[in-house]
Amino acid sequence: MAEQQRHNHLPKLLVLGISPVFRLHEQKFAQRFEILRAWETPIFTEEFQASHAPHVRAMLCWGGTPVTAEQLSHLPALRLVVTSSTGVNHIDLRECHRRGIAVANSGNVYAQDVADTAVGLLIDVLRRISAADRYVRGGLWPVKGEYPLGSKLAGKRVGIIGLGNIGLEVAKRLEAFGCIICYNSRKKKPSVPLPFYLDVCDLAANCDILVICCALTDKTHHMINKEVLLALGKEGVVVNIARGAVIDEKAFVQCLVQGDIAGAGLDVFECEPNVPKDLLELENVVLSPHRAVFTADSFGDCFEHISGNLEAFFSNKPLLSP
Amino acid sequence: SPKVPNPLGASIIAKTNTRPNLPKKKLKMEAIGVLMMCPMSAYLENELDKRFKLFRFWNQPQKEEFVKEKANSIRAIVGNASAGADAKLIDSLPGLEIVASYSVGLDKIDLGYCKEKGIRVSNTPDVLTEDVADLAIGLILATLRQICACDRYVRSGLWTKGDFKLTTKFSGKSVGIIGLGRIGLAVAHRAEAFGCPISYYTRSEKPDSKYKYYSNVIDLASNCQILVVACPLTKETRHIINREVIDALGPKGVLINIGRGPHVDEPELVSALVEGRLGGAGLDVFENEPEVPEQLFGLDNVVLLPHVGSGTVETRNAMADLVIGNLEAHFLGKPLLTPVV
């Protein structure tokens, strides 16, 4: 009875699915909000509709739980969707806008970790770190001798696709390595003193390395296609820490297998957790299981950020990261 | 500017081709004997072959006899990180005038003895600074973010069964550097771009440095999360990473070695890693290369590399050019390009 009373003081938060951040910080969330677990009482059930639907104004979701128009139709009181991810491609933004529902993402909390992953994957591909580590662990160093040489990073031209929070963090890091940075974005950024290319193919033709940091939208779906890859050329390297579907994966794998580009570092794929079998055979790719944001530090920061957004919402203050 | 040739994906080591920045006129030095201590670069071997009378030490079945026989004609040694010139070899080559090292490290050369005997020594500084510093950061990221373990995870099909664990963030972590020479400074410059506070230890404080100085390695290790070895190997710095330093770095600390294997007390390091007393290690060098302690092979928090610090086509070619350039300068009576002694 006392617990029920305590719950009545806390704002209701519908949690659509168990995101990694939620799993890690569930107790902390429960201290600040009354948690309604959609996997225990699904939103379309009578129980939920009767008790909670009229009162649920805020929802927490993540990349693994799509927010569809159908779901939104069961939540008439909803005014805020918070996602623990940076990407919002899993949310029907048009429907949210139509219904007057605000959407907030993770803002900047992951940007550093994702940028770190991008740089880590790039150095790994150029200097063959994972492949050489396999070589040593396989006992091959005493047997086969010196490992094949890699490629120098300093002086390479890097094209960043999408110069948002993450793209800017990547640029800042790679400049310190002596890379020459240019970028492609929806629009040129006047405050950024880096060369801008409106056309991705042009960017690719003038770079040695592409780092994909853009959101997945209708426009960016399969934006990195065979034409772009051929423009990048046989010595080109691609790093993807955005979303798998920005790349035409089938064409990409073919280019790698045929040697039309030199190598790739990939944290994301079109059909995770499935990775094209051909990639598993290649020595010049580095594969990561969508872990760019997955550090304990980031998740702590993300919890604070999500809380911040929710608290702002419930106090009628501006959101931190709309 | 033209794209730089990149052999990524190719299986051969370095291509042999003429370098545009070497003199085209062939100097008449075919009679000068040059002793190359071990295989290090097909390109360098070829260039030495073209210019001098090249002896390949590793191909000689009777090494002592060979040295006695050729003693008077050998006027130069080309060494590297694995093999150089100790007092015994120097004594057996009365005609020796110069030791040109295909490395920046000089721990395999008896420098004092060379100085005493009036033998010149050259190395390959600057051209490899960026590559070694890049590798240090690559090792930090690979170790903290478990990039190699992640790659293994995906390749083994485990991702379809479950997600990989959380790893440790790099940005903002404190980085301590032992040795603030060219390479140490380049590491610091890169780590700063990740928002890392930098501290260092050197024999004496650098008054112009903006980084925090610690007068001993234990204090440095106690006050940083990532410790990078970037100093020369000398009698004083042998086993500079010992049990006490490893304890000070602790279970959340990470050691990165891009110096020389003997900088680290390797058995102590191995037991600390196996027992979890040290958080992780990224190692490019080992005490008895190419032997690497097998107890490390099963650990996800270590990254093991086969001494590839300067291992890019661009840099190894530049290093080879420096070796050739120094030898030619010497035999033409000109100043050495990168003299040490």
- pLDDT score of B1 more than 50: no
Write the DSSP assignment of B182-212 as a string of letters.
Answer: HHHHHHHHHHHTTT--EEEE-SS--TT--SE
B195 touches chain A (CB under 8 A): yes
Query: What average pLDDT does the structure give for chain B?
Result: 92
B39 touches chain A (CB under 8 A): yes
CA of B274: how far to CAs of B142, B283, B296, in Å? 18, 15, 7
Give the pLDDT confidence score for residue A20 in this predicted structure. 87
CA distance A319 to chain B (A): 26
Residue A272 bears catalytic tag: yes
Q: Does an H or E element contain B243, and which?
A: helix B243-249
Give the pLDDT confidence score for residue A108 in this predicted structure. 81
For B134, the closest of A177, A233, A287 (CB atoms) is A177
- Do the chains contact at B3 and A235, CB–CB below 8 Å? yes
> What φ, ψ does residue B144 adopt, rounded to 5°?
-65, -45
Nearest to B120 by CA among B141, B106, B137: B106
Write the DSSP assignment of B297-319 as a string of letters.
Answer: TT-TTEEE--S-TT-BHHHHHHH
Using an 8 Å CB-CB cutoff, list chain B residues near A176: 189-190, 192-193
Q: Which of B1, B3, B8, B296 would best serve as a mutation to test chain A binding (most A beta carbons within 10 A)?
A: B8
Cα of B161 vs its chain's centroid, Å: 40
- Pick the catalytic residue from A37, A74, A222, A290: A290
Give the pLDDT confidence score for residue A3 in this predicted structure. 53
Among chain A residues, CA nearest to B302: A133
Span B55-69, average pLDDT: 92
- Do the chains contact at B167 and A291, CB–CB below 8 Å? yes
Strand A263-266 to A237-240 pairing? parallel
Strand B175-178 to B198-201 pairing? parallel
Q: Which of B6, B257, B299 would best serve as a mutation to test chain A binding (most A beta carbons within 10 A)?
A: B6
Span B308-331, average pLDDT: 97
Three-class SS state of A274:
strand
Give the pLDDT confidence score for residue A249 in this predicted structure. 98
Reading the block at residue A9, the tokens are 């003081």
Residue B260 bears catalytic tag: yes
Using an 8 Å CB-CB cutoff, list chain B residues near A112: 169, 171-172, 194-195
CA distance B28 to chain A (A): 32
Using an 8 Å CB-CB cutoff, list chain B residues near A259: 9
Give the pLDDT confidence score for residue B16 in this predicted structure. 43
| Position A140, amino acid | L
- pLDDT score of B9 more than 50: no
Residue A290 bears catalytic tag: yes
CB count within 10 Å of CB B19 equals 12
For B313, the closest of A149, A156, A273 (CB atoms) is A149
CA of A50: how far to CAs of A1, A77, B67, B239, in Å? 21, 13, 95, 71
- pLDDT score of B137 more than 50: yes
- pLDDT block averages, 10 residues each, chain A of length 322: 59 91 92 93 89 92 91 93 90 94 89 97 98 97 94 98 96 98 95 96 98 95 98 98 97 98 98 96 96 89 91 90 86
- Pick the catalytic residue from B130, B289, B314, B328: B289
For B311, the closest of A112, A150, A297 (CB atoms) is A150
Give the pLDDT confidence score for residue B39 in this predicted structure. 95
pLDDT confidence band for B255 (50 / 70 / 90): very high
| CB proximity list for B226: less than 8 A, separation 6 or greater | B140, B144, B170, B173, B174, B175, B176, B196, B253, B254, B256
Strand B98-101 to B74-79 pairing? parallel
- Pick the catalytic residue from B260, B263, B316, B330: B260
Among chain B residues, CA nearest to A268: B154
Using an 8 Å CB-CB cutoff, list chain B residues near A178: 130
Inter-residue contact A273 to A289 (CB < 8 Å): yes
Nearest to B30 by CA among B73, B86, B80: B73
| Position A169, amino acid | E
Give the pLDDT confidence score for residue B341 in this predicted structure. 87
- Do the chains contact at B147 and A130, CB–CB below 8 Å? yes
For A113, the closest of B10, B169, B303 (CB atoms) is B169
Using an 8 Å CB-CB cutoff, list chain B residues near A132: 305-306, 308
- Interface predicted TM-score (ipTM) of this complex, two decimals: 0.91
Among chain A residues, CA nearest to B169: A295
DSSP B172: T
Inter-chain Cβ pairs, chain A and chain B, closer than 8 A: 217
Give the pLDDT confidence score for residue B17 in this predicted structure. 45
For A116, the closest of B170, B289, B306 (CB atoms) is B170
